[in-house]
Chains A and B, each alone.
Chain A
Amino acid sequence: MGSSASLDAPAPVGFAEKIWRINWGLVLVLTAIAGVGVLALYSAAGGRFEPWAARHAVRYGSALMLMLVVALVHPKVWLALAWPIYIVSVLLLVAVDVIGKIGMGAQRWLVLGPIQIQPSEIAKVAVILVIARYYHGLRREQAGQFLYALPPLAMILVVVGLVMVQPDLGTAMMVLMGGGALLFVAGVRIWMFLAAGVAAVACLPIAWSLMHEYQKKRVLTFLDPDRDPLGAGYHITQSKIAIGSGGMFGKGFLKGTQSSLNFLPEKQTDFIFTTFVEEWGMAGALVLLGLYALVVVWGFSIAFRSQHHFGRLLALGVTAMLFLYMFINTAMVMGMLPVVGVPLPLVSNGGTALLSVMFACGLLIGVNVYRDAQLPRTR
């Protein structure tokens, strides 16, 4: 065993080789997306670096450092840390919910001394890690069995439930769909998804009764924007007007008329795509979507090249999360989905989301760096 292992196992990877294996092209694409963010935030502030664009650039710079460090950590470390990270993130979510109850109203932040933590951002990554670890330890037949699908489902639903009561519908949706995608590629049978879908539809009335008034309003408004064109539907309508009036090539940098008038809430976060597309048109939008598509393709290729299942699932989970982020946000501002409050990754203003996205990208690149590492199938 010992000798065959030494024959099979590739020579240990040196530091220079690790650096070489970092997907520098991917880093470049991510940086380009963040650059679009700086441009859009500069414009959203009326042609000023303050208060968003400059900070965004600085934050991206430090998040990039974090990403490179994470990328150089051996996957076995993440394998070992998956459960602790998941448990801690669940505890933090509970803490934030409890404090939210006491402190009244929506609570997404946890203040620990000088730093603010948004536990749902950690939980997103934690769910991917823990599910990847779970399936890494299963055989193929086991992955297809109904009973083995229950624990990961529970892992997802615990987080989804805790995030939903915050209430943060957008993140809950993201975790649910991202986790679902991960179960799908891990080998859970298709009929189980269909069954879950049927069950979900059956549960809709219950979910409906549990939703907050404003959430119901958003769903109704999404289904029929003309219902309340001056209230909740107003922002979607205005966003569509801004995007639509941008046309093929946009109104030009800093020339957006809709965005410069403060009719959009959160124009620096959730509606940043609107600001960008109004000024750069369909051409700019396609370039941005193309950059995201490049990231996704890169993620898939990293997943395919990974020699270990943990890496594959991790890479795919991260990729799916990024895609969902991007899709939900852009579909929302174009009126294809209800307004749920999901930022556009790497473009929207906001430190925690940027950090968690870059952390996840670090994991993704790490899979490539250690693509031929041998990981024991522990449970």
Chain B
Amino acid sequence: MKHFRKGDGERSGLFTRRALLLGGAQAVLLTALAGRLYQLQVVETDRFSSMAEENRVSMRLLPPSRGLIFDRGGVPLAVNRNNFRVMAASDRGRGADVLVERLDQILVLGDAEKIRLLRELRRSRNAQPIVVRENLGWEEVARVEFNAPDLPGVFIDLGQSRDYPEGDLMSHIVGYTGRVADEDLAGRDDPVLQLATMRFGKKGVERSLEDDLRGRAGAVQVEVNAVGRVVRELDRTEGQPGANALLTIDLDIQRFAAEKMKEHQSGSVVVLDVITGDVIAMVSTPGFDPSTFARGITQAEWRDLLDDPQRPLHNKAIAGVYPPGSTYKMVTALAALDAKVIDPWTRLPCPGFLELGKIKFHCWLKGGHGSTNVTEAIAMSCDCFFYEAARRAGIDRVSDMAQRLGFGKVSELGLPGESAANQPTRTWKQEKIGKAWQHGDTFNLGIGQGYMTATPLQLAIMTARLANGGYEVQPNLLLAKATPREELAPPAPRTKPTAPSLRLNPQHLAVIRQGMSDVVNTGYGTANALRSKQPEFTYAGKTGTAQVKRITEREREMGITQASLPWHLRHHALFVCYGPVDNPRYACAVIVEHGQAGGATAGPIGRDVLVETMKRDPSRRTDRFRKMASR
């Protein structure tokens, strides 16, 4: 034991001496560290502080190029165009007052603008630039560049803004973009949405396809100085442009329909492909110029649009709700046939009115239609037949049939602002009106009046489902989408619906369709004046006139007629149609607001648009697109 104790003592002595030396060295090194700290943080701190002020590395997002929108033929409907903007950056609003004053001298800002700029400059973090003004002309660009030395933190930025070559023709479908609002951020944590220059779809397809059109942001890491000027670029990641969209709309037919609507103040036309549900045209007049929104709408312009009684901002095709009137009679007929309370040969009498208790329900034809079967009743639009048919079927079965045909619910079109309108039911009335359903309500519903309302789109959907043999087609606006433009191509044409069947009796459908054909193609039909002039393009239809103001017995005696009422109280004119008769492909619904009579005002528009659609037959033609794309 002793021997290694002794040896250990020697070792321990040497160890201690050496360890103290090592400790001394460490103390020296530690002192060196402290000295370095002193040098950096005390001696040179001012120099480094000012360098820290000058040095800012910031991440800037590169907004992706927004996807373009085309009609089915490849005609551009929404494009991007270069946009010179004046941007400004300051560090948490430092020097903002002086900057805004100088900008005012050069660009002539209003007081409201000055306040907005000051607010945004003070709020901007990490010297993120804000937008001073967009869509600069060359002269303004030159003026800003010329004065650059007096404008620290101000620079010209080349960005993109949206342009809509077709203007008000496509305004309701394509919609427009605007600044990103707080509610747009819900559920989306895409950082690019924080950019001042970013735009977000507000209406129409711009809104419904927003997440496709937007694309993914790139990012660039730049070193900026204290006034936000980029010193150099450190790193760059390219983003991905948004997907381009090919719509189902045929611009030629859309334009044709809009032309036809021109002579009337306000209304809507919807054309559907009954097999695919493709929306071939969707017009709502009057429209508006979406470019107003793209460049930034003024308060006055906005007021004007809002105050217009014809509501140009309102897409009447999907958001306008009207009593469907006689265009609803097919629903009543089908419900009654389906319930087996009538059969195709059942004849019902029409003495000109039916009485329910003390109330008289009039037929539109004063003397009545005599006795008619269902086909004739549709052709002549006999009200009494449908009062009785509705009474026999009952509210529940009529409502149920209507819902199967698309009434009372929002379709799968996807455009924002679509209305479900109202398909009344017993429970609906109990809940909303607080009263039980009455027999009289059923009478009114039978002819598409009373609580019943529908949108033009719903009328077109109903017509399409009747015409295609009872398939539950849904309207569809998007033909194809793809990020590289070359890959954008319409799908192969289809001749059979892929939608689920509604399981309607084909014989019943045939009876209904015969009635609709007779409306146009027989001498006693309500629209026999509207027979197609080209024998190869036959069609079938149904007129409707929806009551806005009920003319009372008293007023009737005083000789008040529709024409003598002020515009906003006159009846709405409706027309639904499909064609060709034998092998239906297209359905069309027309509403002319306050157009008085369906057959006279809405009918010719429906006929012309439908015949034009059959002539061009967009569903079976893809050659035109190929030509456009290869150009």
Contact = CB atoms under 8 A, between A and B. Distances in A.
A336 B8 CA distance: 40
A184 B22 contact: yes
Contacts of A312: 12, 15, 19
B551 interface: no
Given A143-B11, A261-B58, A309-B15, A245 B22 contact: no
Chain B contact residues, majority secondary structure: helix
Interface in A314-343: 316, 320, 323, 327, 330-331, 334, 336
Best-surrounded residue of A143, A289, A334 (most CB of chain B within 10 A): A334
A244 B19 contact: no
Contacts of A185: 15, 18-19, 22
A244 B34 contact: no
A377 B36 CA distance: 45
Interface string A151-187: 0000000000000000000000000000001001111
Contact of A238 (B34, B55, B126): B55
A241 interface: yes
Interface in B1-38: 1-2, 4-5, 7-8, 10-12, 14-16, 18-19, 21-23, 26, 29-30, 32-34, 36-38
B620 interface: no
Given A140-B7, A242-B52, A336 B15 contact: no
Given A289-B33, A330-B33, A247 B49 contact: yes
Contacts of B48: 240-241, 243-245
Contacts of A187: 11, 14-15, 18
B41 A281 contact: yes
B42 interface: yes
Contacts of A316: 15, 19, 22
Contact of B34 (A184, A277, A289, A313): A289
Interface stretch (A1-9, A12-20, A86-94, A206-214): A1-9
Contacts of A320: 22
Nearest to B10: A140
Contacts of B56: 257, 261
B19 A304 contact: yes
B14 A140 contact: yes
Contact of B41 (A238, A247, A300): A247
A300 B19 contact: yes
Nearest to B45: A247
Given A187-B14, A245-B49, A331 B36 contact: yes
B92 to A, nearest CB: 11
B126 to A, nearest CB: 7
Interface in B46-64: 47-49, 51-52, 55-59
Interface in A287-306: 289, 293, 296, 300, 303-304
B11 A244 contact: no
Interface in A262-299: 262-263, 277, 281-282, 285-286, 289, 293, 296
A282 B14 contact: no
Interface in A212-244: 230, 238, 240-244
B40 interface: yes
B449 to A, nearest CB: 62
B45 A245 contact: yes
A288 to B, nearest CB: 10
A243 B40 contact: yes
A282 B44 CA distance: 12
Given A5-B1, A139-B7, A282-B41, A257 B36 contact: no
B485 interface: no
Contacts of A184: 18, 21-22
A331 B36 CA distance: 8
A36 interface: no
B340 interface: no
Contacts of B37: 243, 277, 282, 285-286, 334
Nearest to A323: B26
Given A4-B1, A185-B15, A312-B12, A241 B41 contact: no
B231 to A, nearest CB: 10
A305 B19 CA distance: 13
Contacts of A331: 32-33, 36
A309 to B, nearest CB: 6
A209 B588 CA distance: 82
Contact of B52 (A5, A181, A258, A289): A258
A263 to B, nearest CB: 4
B30 A293 contact: yes
Contacts of B42: 247-248, 282
A345 interface: no
B114 to A, nearest CB: 29
B1 A8 contact: yes
A184 B14 CA distance: 10
A336 B21 CA distance: 23
B232 interface: yes
6 shortest interchain CB distances as A-B pairs: A244-B48, A245-B52, A263-B57, A282-B41, A185-B18, A244-B40
8 contacts: A140-B10, A230-B232, A282-B42, A300-B23, A313-B15, A316-B15, A334-B40, A377-B7
Interface of A: 1, 4-5, 8, 139-140, 143, 181, 184-187, 230, 238, 240-248, 257-258, 261-263, 277, 281-282, 285-286, 289, 293, 296, 300, 303-304, 308-309, 312-313, 316, 320, 323, 327, 330-331, 334, 336, 377
Given A261-B57, A262-B59, 6 more contacts: A143-B11, A230-B232, A244-B44, A245-B52, A261-B126, A282-B38
